[in-house]
Amino acid sequence: MSKNEIIIPTPQLPVYFDICHTKSHIVPSHWHTQLEIIYILKGSMEIICGENKYSLLPGDLFAVNPGDIHYTRSIGDTDLILLQIPYEILENSIEHLKEIRFRPYFSKLKISCDTYMKSMESYLLSMKKLYLEKKEGYQLIFTGELYLFLHLLYTCFSKRCETFAEDIRNTSSHKMKMILSYIEKHYAEKISLDEISQVSGLNTQYFCRYFKKNMGFTFIQYLNTVRLSHICRDLLYTDDTVTQIQLRHGFTNYKLFNRMFKEAYGCTPSQMRQRNP
């Protein structure tokens, strides 16, 4: 969802932790106050974070800094570890946390050549094993491995940003979050460039450049991605017809909808339903 995502910790753990299976799944740009860790077990994932685009393969690890706007797309069958650490946990242990930026991308090749990265990976995989086995009292060992992981991430792979540069980044981020929140609320309606430009306080020509630079998509591409993600959810979790769902979420051109859906998910809406009964 293109808004501030609410994360609920896994029962009996101080963080949210899960082994996720996705199939050609798109999560439109969103943000949260948690530090998010993604580790690819199988398949591949595309992540757009700020102005940068990353392609993740098995063995790659990615850290999304608190507050960063990011978009994810899994390609085909993809399994991953998803770890989300509440801001309060970090704030209690790290001084000047608001000025700290964690390194985002750790490739499998880099991990294999770096002792500290390899240890981080080992702690994460240990948490996975403990979580799956769920032996009595596993939460105590899990929490210990979690803090060892975070200690290495902080001491070896973070930097403190200059206040002025951080203020500029935060101002731009606030504007983008305001724009994305508006899109999420009105995505099923016809949103013109003039309308969204007025919301952002920018003239239309500059808005188009600004949005593309920060999101990696044009405004129209992003708007349609949000619509498609809602349509995909309804295809899987409701019995409404494809036409009903398509119209409910803002697509009035059936041919365009079918083409864009197939480009995004690699199948037709009907095929998606058949594959996920």
Report the CATH number that the domain containing residue 60 is assigned in CATH: 2.60.120.10
What pLDDT is stored for residue 276 in this prediction?
67
Are 72 and 100 in the same domain? Answer: yes
Backbone angles phi, psi at 53, to 5 degrees: -120, 135
Any idea of the CA torsion for 109, 111, 115, 120, to the nearest 10 degrees? -170
Q: Which residues contact 85 (CB under 8 A, 6 or more apart)?
A: 15, 34, 35, 36, 37, 146, 150
Q: Kindly state whether residue 7 falls inside one of the protein's structural domains.
A: no
CA 212 to chain centre: 18
Q: Kindly state whether residue 76 falls inside one of the protein's structural domains.
A: yes
For residue 5, pLDDT beyond 70: no
What pLDDT is stored for residue 170 in this prediction?
58
- Among the listed residues 21, 35, 13, 252, the one whose alpha carbon sits nearest the alpha carbon of residue 141: 13
Q: Kindly state whether residue 30 falls inside one of the protein's structural domains.
A: yes
Q: Kindly state whether residue 1 falls inside one of the protein's structural domains.
A: no
Are 24 and 104 in the same domain? Answer: yes
Q: What angle do CA 262, 231, 65 make, to 5 degrees?
A: 90
- Residues 204/194, Cβ–Cβ less than 8 Å: yes
**Boundary of a domain, candidates 130, 160, 190:** 160
Are 202 and 92 in the same domain? Answer: no
Q: What angle do CA 121, 80, 174 make, to 5 degrees?
A: 90
For residue 7, pLDDT beyond 90: no
Which pTM value belongs to this model? 0.78
Its domain, for residue 206, covers: 164-275
How many domains does the chain fold into?
Answer: 2
**Boundary of a domain, candidates 113, 130, 160:** 160
Are 117 and 185 in the same domain? Answer: no
d(CA 39, CA 265): 22
Any idea of the CA torsion for 104, 86, 122, 143, to the nearest 10 degrees? 170
Q: With bands split at pLDDT 50, 70 and 90, how would you rate the model's confidence at 277?
A: low
Q: What is the pLDDT of residues 122-180, one digit of tens each?
A: 999 999 999 999 999 999 999 999 999 999 999 999 998 865 445 545 556 788 888 98
Are 131 and 209 in the same domain? Answer: no
Of residues 265 and 58, more confidence is placed in 58
Of residues 173 and 193, more confidence is placed in 193
Are 115 and 22 in the same domain? Answer: yes
Which residue matches tokens 């392609």? 55
Are 26 and 155 in the same domain? Answer: yes
Q: Kindly state whether residue 5 falls inside one of the protein's structural domains.
A: no
Q: Kindly state whether residue 9 falls inside one of the protein's structural domains.
A: no
Q: Kindly state whether residue 86 falls inside one of the protein's structural domains.
A: yes
**Boundary of a domain, candidates 136, 160, 184:** 160
Q: Kindly state whether residue 6 falls inside one of the protein's structural domains.
A: no
What pLDDT is stored for residue 4 in this prediction?
44
Task: Name the pairing type of β-strands 26-30 and 100-102.
Answer: unpaired
- Residues 75/45, Cβ–Cβ less than 8 Å: yes
